[in-house]
Amino acid sequence: MRFSEFPFLRYALFFILGIVFYPVYQKGFWALIGVGGASGLIYLFLVFVNDHHGRYKSRIILPILGYVQLIVAGYFFTYQKDIRNHPDNLVNSCKEIKAYLATVISHDEPKPNSIANRVKVKKVFDGTFWEEIEGEVLIYHRSERGLSSGDLLLISGSPQKIQGPTNPFEFDYRNFMLNQQISHQHFIGDRIEILGSLRENPIESFFIEIRTDILAGMDSLFHNREANQVAKAILLGQKKDMDKEISDAYVTAGAMHILAVSGLHVGIVYGFFFLFVKPYRLKVRKRVIYLSLIILLIWGYALLTGMSPSVMRAATMFSLMALAQMKSRNPSIFNAIALSAVILLLYDPFLIYAVGFQLSYLALTGILVIQPLLVRPWSPTNRIVNYIWQITTVSFAAQLATFPISAYYFHVFPTYFAIANLIAIPGAFLMMAFGVPFMVLVKVPYVSLALAWIAEKIILVVNTLIFWFQELPGSRISDIYFSEVFIWVYWLILAVVILLWLYPGKKLAYSLLVMLGIVGISRAVFDFISNEKKEITLYAAGKGFAIDYQNGETLFWFDQASEQDISYKVNPNRNSSSSKSRIPMVAFETQYGLEIPLLGLHQNLVIQKNVCRIPQERDYSVYRWDEKKWESIPKTDSIFLDAYPHKITLNSP
């Protein structure tokens, strides 16, 4: 297998490089366009010269120029998609908004105290004039009627910009929403008026109506609440209403992937049609019609499930394979994967930052590259044993490829993932086998009832086993925090190990040893620096506060905030520390306020009326967090516990 056999892998790599480069150098648009234009002209000139002389020269320069253009193309499409570069977008508006017109573009999403919908802004009113403007807003309302896609709304008040993270390592919700082209949110309560309905996207509205009918059918025919929620997730990708206990159980078992409609589900739908008719046995015209019908059905299913990144990846890839089969060709799966990625990223470059997109492509790549290596040493003759061995190696291959990313985002590792998937994957196939016909025949009496009963029983059996895995000792490793550097080092080492497996040789072996040595030395240096660290961190934790005191390898902590604020605002940074032990601190109420003793210091940390007084027995430096990094500020003896986190670094005596 040679890399030159997969040209679209190279194209995708350099195109993605341009997308990733965009946030680093956002102000260099015209400079890069100039570089891209110049390289394009030089490329055309060299091609003309080669064609004129009838020989191929510049074998090195031409590919480099082509790759430069791919990088510029990735940057260009990302720049064009970014709403911050659109002057007429709401994110760039400085107007005082009194009211605005908007259309609903998503179905109701129940929240604990409200209902959420995405709306597309049409016009804004500043008190005098109406002005056309574009943009999307995430609204939270308490309308008893509920909202439907296409509803035209008159909303009073002004939407607020989504705020960035207030503490280090806190989830950046603002950037997450900007990647989905949403910059504002609005808590409107009952200040909403439905003026009518618009059908701007009739195809999308059509599939939303079908989805609503299917969901209503599930609500009436699936009597068990947990089975109903799992059915909605597996068949339609609707996980937003799922109980936390169910999602936690599937995460712990390492089977969460079956609840996200992905390549497994689309592949089952795709393979279902091949059970009855083999395309290669048909004549060309009939084969084209048959495969075209399959492509339409796949994209219909993708629209029905909400077009998540993993579904779009699978639908695009299977569509490319079907197009190749129209000419009786057997396309390279790696080229199909790479081309599907390029197509999706042309449509929306910010998909590269979607967790589903990343996990989907990484899992598939791991299965295609690593699984054949794992399965090679043993080939069981027994069909059942061979089936179990195949699923086990697929699980390990996908886990090896996705482990750093899943741990980076979700901070957990499912210990029994390989065993759990022996149940989850066949279970998902059976659920789809009865669930898909149920969705098609949901309006047919008795038939839909029978299919729903069978599907519900299958889900209940799988749920019971998944919850059993959750109860096993050591079922999950929690509070895992990796840096981005670690992720890249992990993949680099994994790539070298794979190459060493495929092409044994001293050079690769020495390279692996050198990398492991560098990682080990870096870790030792980092631990040494951490052991000498003494610092106090004051968090911005909503209406309360939280304090960390890092003393060498020990982290002392004190919390006086809600559990939710601690979980989302404090724990990400706290869990990322290199401390080997964590000990809660004890506070005392005195005449001076709340006093917290600090190990190794004679003076206590004193908090009174949201003001923290710093012990003065040592020299220290003060820093304030500004969303991206710690900024040094003038030294002070007291700090107000406000919306900004602070860090006090205690210098050696």
Q: What is the pLDDT of residue 436?
A: 86
Q: Closest by alpha carbon to 305, among 185, 435, 165?
A: 435
R_g of the chain computed on alpha carbons: 28
Q: What integer is the mean pLDDT of 475-500?
A: 81
Q: What is the chain's mean pLDDT, rounded?
A: 84
Query: In 3-state terms, what secondary structure has residue 140?
Result: strand
Instruction: Give the distance from CA 130 to its chain's centroid.
Output: 37
CB-CB neighbours of 530 under 10 Å: 15
Scan for tokens 């602070």, then name that residue: 646
E strand or H helix at 141, and its extent? strand 136-141
In three-state form (DSSP H/G/I as H, E/B as E, the rest C), the secondary structure along 292-345 is HHHHHHHHHHHHHCCCCHHHHHHHHHHHHHHHHHCCCCCCCHHHHHHHHHHHHH
What is the per-residue pLDDT across 259-291, written as a single tens digit (0 to 9) for each? Answer: 777 777 787 777 777 767 777 677 878 888 888
Scan for tokens 């989504």, then name that residue: 162
Q: What is the pLDDT of residue 150?
A: 83
Q: Say which residues have a Cβ less than 8 Å from residue 98's Cβ, sequence separation at least 6.
A: 125, 126, 127, 156, 157, 158
Q: What is the pLDDT of residue 507?
A: 67
E strand or H helix at 109, and its extent? strand 109-110
Name the token pair of 170.
Answer: 């806190």
The conformation of residue 134, written as its DSSP 8-state character, comes to B
Q: Closest by alpha carbon to 609, among 624, 623, 592?
A: 592
Give the separation between CA 351 and CA 312, rounded to whole angstroms: 10
Query: Which segment of 249-253, 363-367, 496-500 scores lowest on mean pLDDT?
Result: 496-500
Q: What is the pLDDT of residue 307?
A: 78
Say whether pLDDT at 101 is over 60: yes
Q: Closest by alpha carbon to 166, among 608, 561, 483, 583?
A: 561
Say whether pLDDT at 651 is over 80: no
Q: What is the pLDDT of residue 285?
A: 81
Helix 417-440 and helix 447-471: axis angle, to 10°?
170
Asked if residues 227 and 459 have their Cβ atoms less than 8 Å apart, the reply is yes
Name the token pair of 176.
Answer: 């997450």
Q: What is the pLDDT of residue 14?
A: 92
Query: Which segment of 94-108, 252-266, 272-286, 297-311 scores lowest on mean pLDDT?
Result: 272-286
Give the separation between CA 218 and CA 109, rounded to whole angstroms: 17
Q: What is the largest CA-CA distance in the chain?
A: 93
Length of the chain in terms of residues written: 653
Q: From residue 67, how far is each of 34, 309, 331 by CA, in Å?
A: 15, 26, 24
Q: Say which residues have a Cβ less than 8 Å from residue 351's Cβ, sequence separation at least 6.
A: 309, 312, 344, 345, 357
Q: Model's pTM, two decimal places?
A: 0.84
Q: What integer is the mean pLDDT of 594-616?
A: 84
Say whether pLDDT at 523 is over 70: no
Q: Closest by alpha carbon to 305, among 238, 356, 219, 215?
A: 238
Pick the more confident residue, 221 or 37: 221
Please calculate the CA angle 442-446-447 and round it to the nearest 5 degrees: 55
